[in-house]
Amino acid sequence: MSANITSRLPAELLAFADEVGVEGAVAVEGGRTGWTVGGLPAERTRLVRAPVGVLQVEPAEMTVRVLAGTTVADLQAALAEVGQCVNLPAAPGAVEGGTVRATVGATAGATVGGVLALGCSGTRRLGWGPLRDAVLQVRYISAEGLVVSAGGPTVKNVTGFDLPRLLVGSLGTLGLMGEVMLRTRPLPDAEVWLAGSADPVAVRDALYRPTTILWDGTTTWVRLSGHRGDVDAQVGVARGLGLAGCEGPPELPPYRRSVRPGQVRHLTGDFVAEVGVGMVHVPEPPVSAPLEPAVAELHRRIKAIFDPTGRLNPGRNPALR
């Protein structure tokens, strides 16, 4: 790494790289809100913490640079001061309910880097898109102890592998995130929940970009958020479908599995499904199907390229969720 590049990196990031070092098994410890997903770190793995701090908020550009150890709650609080937020869920299974200006995806303890490493989009995915779409740039520590920068602040910035998207959901097995640049969005002026027995697919077809639709086989819950006038208009449509205002969403079961969005209406048993997304929350851990040989080989080759000695988060497997 050249001196001029090093001089532009935050001191906290350089200190983090020194702490990670170049030898020995190492894993990043955050808020432990998704600590068991994909397996626990192997014994004698050294635990480190990512640096903390909101580095730069650019309201006009709708971006924020933040160190990965910063809690989601602290980041959202900083962005709320300029009327913005970022599409990061609080933790696996979090519904991000409550008062939107105080709690958009914010649960004490969950860190930005941890949420991105886990890669589970929140229940706003239907309206706000998947988690990885919020990531513009990542600076991570490689298995060789180097600070690597990938991505950039512009939309058309990829001329090869899109490493930020690859790192999201990798459970820290390819690199340890130290700093990220995220795309922000305006805080919604209004947010309401409605519920009723209406058909969830009919509800989705009738409403314009609902933020969330949940269904448990009997009841449909809808979250509408955005400009006050738009939300009020959509509430009128929802009421015409038989939905009425409610205090909030149901409690989500602790485990998740994916199905094709069109298969949601054929589900049975106890579940809460995210309609239009294909994510299903269930009370028991789903049985993980083995990866197809070609996919397993691709996983192995990628891991061998990024972490040939296997020192980053040994014991964790992104395929086990």
Encoded amino acid at 42, one letter? A
pLDDT for position 95: 53
pLDDT tens per residue, the chain (321 residues)? 333 344 578 999 999 999 999 999 999 999 998 899 899 999 999 999 999 999 999 999 999 999 999 999 999 999 999 999 999 986 655 555 444 443 444 445 899 999 999 998 999 999 999 999 999 999 999 999 999 999 887 655 555 568 899 999 999 999 999 999 999 999 999 999 999 999 999 999 999 999 999 999 999 999 999 999 999 999 999 999 999 999 999 999 989 998 988 888 889 999 999 999 999 999 998 887 788 999 999 999 999 999 999 999 999 999 886
pLDDT for position 92: 54
| Cα 60 to Cα 69: distance, rounded to the nearest angstrom | 25
The position carrying tokens 């706000």 is 128
pLDDT for position 221: 98
pLDDT for position 156: 56
pLDDT for position 99: 40
pLDDT for position 102: 39
pLDDT for position 158: 53
pLDDT for position 155: 54
pLDDT for position 320: 80
Return the biggest CA–CA distance within the chain: 64
Residue 30 β-bridge partners: none
pLDDT for position 154: 67
Extended strands (E) in the chain: 26-28, 46-48, 54-58, 63-67, 84-86, 135-141, 147-151, 176-186, 190-196, 212-215, 220-226, 244-245, 255-258, 272-274, 279-282
Residue 48 β-bridge partners: 28
- How many CA atoms are closer than 13 Å to the CA of 191, on its beta-carbon side? 21
H helix runs in 134-220, sequence order: 163-167, 200-206
